[in-house]
Structure 1
Amino acid sequence: MSFDPATHGHQFFPGSASVGVLVLHGFTSTTASVIEWARAIHQADDAAGRHPSVSVPLLPGHGTTWEDLAKESWHAWRDAVDEEYWALRSRHEHVVVCGLSMGGALAVQLAARYPVAGLLKVNPALALTNRAAAYSHVVKHVVPSVPGIGSDINRPSKGETTYDRTPVAAVAQLNILIRQAIKTLPAVTAPAIVFRSTTDRIVADASVDLIRERSAGPVEVIALPNSFHVATMDYDQGLVETASRHAVQNLMRGFGLTVETGRAAASA
């Protein structure tokens, strides 16, 4: 499978507001799965009309071959996210972290270690529906890969560009990341908005339960009734984008990371 760097590689939208935004894609996917989400957030503005910078990094092992992903550790994903976070902090007073699926787990892990102004998570991966994934650390020695898990999308006209094979060794690393993220939830004090699909064949409902029960900061859950896992490309894409833009705009205008005030301001 060929990945065009122009559409699947690192993306950056510059801005001069006090807030920078980091947007993280999911496991075996690329930035293409979250780029429209990122563009929508970039349209947020503060009272002076300034926009946030939005950085959308391509995580190590992604956008090349599944064999490359099999060689990466969860530390490489974490370190890449850290690098992007500090790049944004060098230019902006505050950082909001957004993540889809595995990107949501990385957002939790980051927010537990560094100051963030808020989190926006779409179907964050803190619990997987496939119970066999728990044995990936053993299975990887005899089964190098399994069929791909991409394009869990309700919308027939949309497809996610992912690897057609999933490296089992990388699933084992994803499990370590998930365990680390769960452990650090009590240290996450930033407000969080979680977008949750009614039907999700990749991430279990326990993910949202864990965030609600263990996070130290306030958690708002927004239901996505018409989408599957990759909601940033599904029928509820517009809802995710609009709510996220309002939330970031709200923060930049001094109201905190909420959706409702942003909606009221937008209609005023």
Structure 2
Amino acid sequence: MNARFEVLAGAEPFSAKGDGRGALVLHGFTGCPQSMRPLAEAFAKAGFTVELPRLPGHGTAVEDMVNYRWSDWTEAADAAWHELADRTDSVVVAGLSMGGSLTLWLASRYPQIRGIVLVNPAAEADDFTAFVEGAKAVLAAGEHYLPAVAGDVADPNSKELGYDRSPAAGLISLVEGIAELKAGLPDIRIPALLLHSPQDHVIPPGSAELLRKTLGGPVDHVELERSFHVATIDYDRDEINRRAVAFAENVSA
């Protein structure tokens, strides 16, 4: 982390020491660990050893995130996975949005992962063509930011701790990263729990459809009818926690 950017209150990473079952939990683009803290704590309560890292450039200031790309986020996810795998007997990985993309990236490299939990993941790069064109136009104009994508929550009593703008270069890098994943999705044979909000205003429905059709392993698909994109802190959060923990317990047995 750039030393001149302080971590926001509530954006800190989370760890919990439990038994030999590990759970790695990954947050989304321009968000921070706050959005995944309830799920991480649910895993911890169930006895899992949990790691919820803060991805580079997140949870500080949007000016910090300008400096980071997909390769930085995959490197951080990879390091977190190795660290957790080295001290547990098995690992499940759960991710929201870009965290779901990183979960797929890990699953494509480490078939020993027991299961993956995908909450409104970004997976279909073709759906983001207009976003990428807009980001390139912003950069060509000498600017750095697009409108915010954080905060898509239906529950008025819940708020995501995220940035009020989105770094254009980072978004382009993210889409390029998920584009590279697409061809390898059929080779991911790890059991998956796919939790999808039909009223997601950030990730188009093509990502959930793509994963249902192309992932090589069994996919348990659940629709989150009451929640928007950041479903982990929205109306369906308890349902997500219950289903994710039950899934993780089953594949880790």
Q: Where do 4+ consecutive residues of structure 1 move more than 4 Å? A: 128-131
Q: Which residue of 1 aligns with 2:115?
A: 118
Tell me whether 1:83 sits opposite 2:79 in the alignment: yes
Partner of 1:23: helix, strand, or coil? Answer: strand
Residue in 1 that maps onto 2:8: 4
Equivalent pair of 2:128/2:175 in contact (CA under 8 Å): no
Shift of 1:195: 0.4
Residue 181 of structure 1 and its aligned partner are, at CA, apart by: 2.4
Aligned partners of 1:149, 1:29: CA distance in 2, in Å? 9
Give the C-alpha shift of residue 8 in structure 1: 0.8
8 Å CA contact 1:127–1:207 kept in 2: the answer is yes
Q: Secondary structure at the match of 1:87?
A: helix
Matches of 2:15 and 2:136 in 1, distance apart?
35
1:107 aligned to 2:103? yes
Give the CA deviation at 1:131.
Answer: 4.6
Quote the Cα distance in structure 1 between the aligned partners of 2:77 and 2:122: 16
SS in 2 for 1:178: helix
Tell me the SS of whatever aligns to 2:123. Answer: coil
Cα deviation for residue 183 of structure 1 reads 2.7
* Structure 2: distance between partners of 1:73 and 1:10: 20
Query: What amino acid sits opposite 2:102 in the alignment?
Result: L
SS at match of 2:109: coil
TM-score (norm 2): 0.91
Corresponding residue to 2:29 among 27, 30, 33: 27
Quick one: distance in 2 between partners of 1:2 and 1:130? 31
Confirm or deny: 8 A CA contact 1:106 1:177 kept in the other structure.
Answer: no
Unmatched runs of 5 consecutive residues or more in structure 2: none
Alignment RMSD: 1.7
Matches within 5 A, 1:169-184: 169-184=169-184
Instruction: Measure, in 2, the Cα distance between the counterparts of 1:226 and 1:217.
Output: 27
Secondary structure of 1:8 counterpart: coil
CA distance in 1, matches of 2:118, 2:156: 24
Distance 2:24 2:114 in 1: 11
- CA deviation vs aligned residue, 1:79-116 (integer Å, no higher than 9, x gap): 10000100111111211010000000100011001121
Work out which of the residue numbers 36, 42, 45 in structure 1 matches 2:44.
42
Letter of the 1:93 counterpart: D
Q: What secondary structure sits across from 1:54 in the alignment?
A: strand
SS in 2 for 1:170: helix
* SS of the residue 2:203 aligns to: coil
Task: Name the residue aligned to 1:139.
Answer: 138
1:73 is aligned to: 69
Number of the residue aligned with 1:210: 210
Name the counterpart of 1:151: 151
Per-residue Cα deviation, 1:197-246 (whole angstroms, up to 9, x for no partner):
12001011110111112211111101111000000011011100111111
Tell whether 2:62 aligns with 1:58: no
* 1:16-60 alpha-carbon deviations (Å, 9 max, x no partner): 22x21100000000000000111112222xxxxxx2111000001
The match for 2:18 is 15
CA distance in 2, matches of 1:58, 1:180: 24
Are the counterparts in 2 of residues 127 and 203 from structure 1 also a CA contact under 8 Å? no
Identity %: 34
CA distance in 2, matches of 1:133, 1:145: 12
CA positional deviation for 1:138: 5.0
